Amino acid sequence: MDPSSDIRTGLQHRLVDTFVDLADTLVEDFDVVEFLSMLSERVVEVSIASEVGILLADETGALRFMASSDERSHLLELFQVQNREGPCQDCFTTGEAIAVDDLADARHRWPLFVDRALATGFRSAQAVPLRLRGEILGAMNLFRTEVGGLDESDLAVVQAMADVATIGLLQQRQLDRAHTVTEQLQGALHSRIGIEQAKGIVSEQAKLPMEEAFARLRGHARNANHKLSDVARAVVAGELSAADLRA
């Protein structure tokens, strides 16, 4: 057998493992930001992406950062600038997957986004929609440090992962009304904002960079078996301080 088919088989195994893990999480009472962060990390493992992020539209139609495979600040800004321009914005507007095989060729299209992406060390990018019954809720964004795109089977895997993200965002089974969907998405957005507020507090209390503050919050949530959003709420309420967080 040629070695490339071994790689394929290995990838398929990892993919199956990933879906089993994600399905396991989904039957429990899980934290949505933690779930989406884990999902983003898994997409990096099973695809050729270097980094992955998930964006969700808020009530005004602006895309908001929800989670990523890495919380470094410049990466976060790269996701966030796409509420103005970039592949995620276009993906959200058109509902179609967007592929940018060479970012250097897309400067005229998204000058702000492309300059930042190149400066961060990325060479190509993809965006796939988070869909629910024809409505676009947001987008999953992939970045690579090399030029080149996803082939068709990669794209199918990534779209499947984006669909899992949508399922994770909509935790309730009863989705017969758009009300319910909107309410759940609102919950997810507010949960992320609360985490950003808590990051700022921990970062200032412990003199840590933002990504370290996030790691502390997340580590504490895992170790204490609490939801990340509950830990963030306790920090904002002053019930927990940076010194109380168990790394």
Partner 1 sequence: MRGDRLVRVLDALAGQAPAPLPERLCAGASVLLDARGVGLALEIGDGELQTVAANDLGHRVERLQADLGEGPAYLAYQRGVPVLVPDLANDTTWVAFGPAAIGAGIAATFAFPLHRGTVRVGALTLCRDRAADLTDDQYADALVIARLALDLFLSLQAGGAEDDLDRLLAEQVDDSAQIHQASGMVSVQLGISVQAALAVLRASAYAADRSLHDVATDVISHRLRMDDPT
Q: Where are the beta strands (DSSP E) in 73-163?
A: 98-100, 124-132, 135-144
243 binds partner 1 (CB under 8 A): no
Determine if 192 is a binding residue for partner 1 (CB under 8 A). yes
CB atoms within 10 A of CB 76: 18
Nearest to 75 by CA among 40, 51, 93, 55: 51
Output 55 or 157, the one with its CB closest to partner 1.
Answer: 55
Rounded to whole angstroms, the Cα distance separating 136 from 97 reads: 11
Residue type, 240: L
Closer CB to partner 1, 64 or 123, in the complex: 64
Q: Which stretch binds partner 1 (CB under 8 A): 54-62, 116-124, 125-133, 217-225?
A: 54-62
Strand (E) or helix (H) holding 56:
strand 51-57
Establish if 232 lies at the interface with partner 1 (CB under 8 A). Answer: yes
116 binds partner 1 (CB under 8 A): no
Q: Work out which of 13, 182, 244, 246 binds partner 1, going by CB under 8 A.
A: 182
**Contacts of partner 1 in 204-223 (CB under 8 A):** 204-205, 210
Chain CA centroid to CA 122, Å: 17
Of 65 and 113, CB closest to partner 1: 65
Q: Report d(CA 232, CA 217) in Å as an integer.
A: 7
C-alpha span between 5 and 106 (Å, rounded)? 34
Does position 237 interact with partner 1 (CB under 8 A)? The reply is yes
- Quote the least distance from Cβ 69 to partner 1, whole Å: 16
Binding flag, residue 60, partner 1 (CB under 8 A):
yes
With CB under 8 A as the contact rule, the residue among 61, 133, 151, 173 that binds partner 1 is 61
Q: Which helix (H) or strand (E) holds 21?
A: helix 3-26
Exactly one of 62, 118, 155, 167 binds partner 1 (CB under 8 A); which one? Answer: 62
Shorter beta-carbon distance to partner 1: residue 46 or 214: 214
Task: Kindly state whether residue 194 participates in binding partner 1, applying the rule CB under 8 A.
Answer: yes
Among candidate residues 190, 162, 41, the one with its CA nearest the CA of residue 95: 162
Residues in the chain, overall count? 247
Two tokens at 153?
């089977």
Comparing CB distances to partner 1, the nearer of 210 and 224 is 210
In the range 127-146, which residues lie near partner 1 by CB under 8 A? none
Coil, strand or helix at 200: helix
Residues found near partner 1 in the complex (CB under 8 A): 57-62, 64-65, 73, 76-77, 80, 93, 177-179, 182-183, 186-187, 190-205, 210, 232-233, 236-237
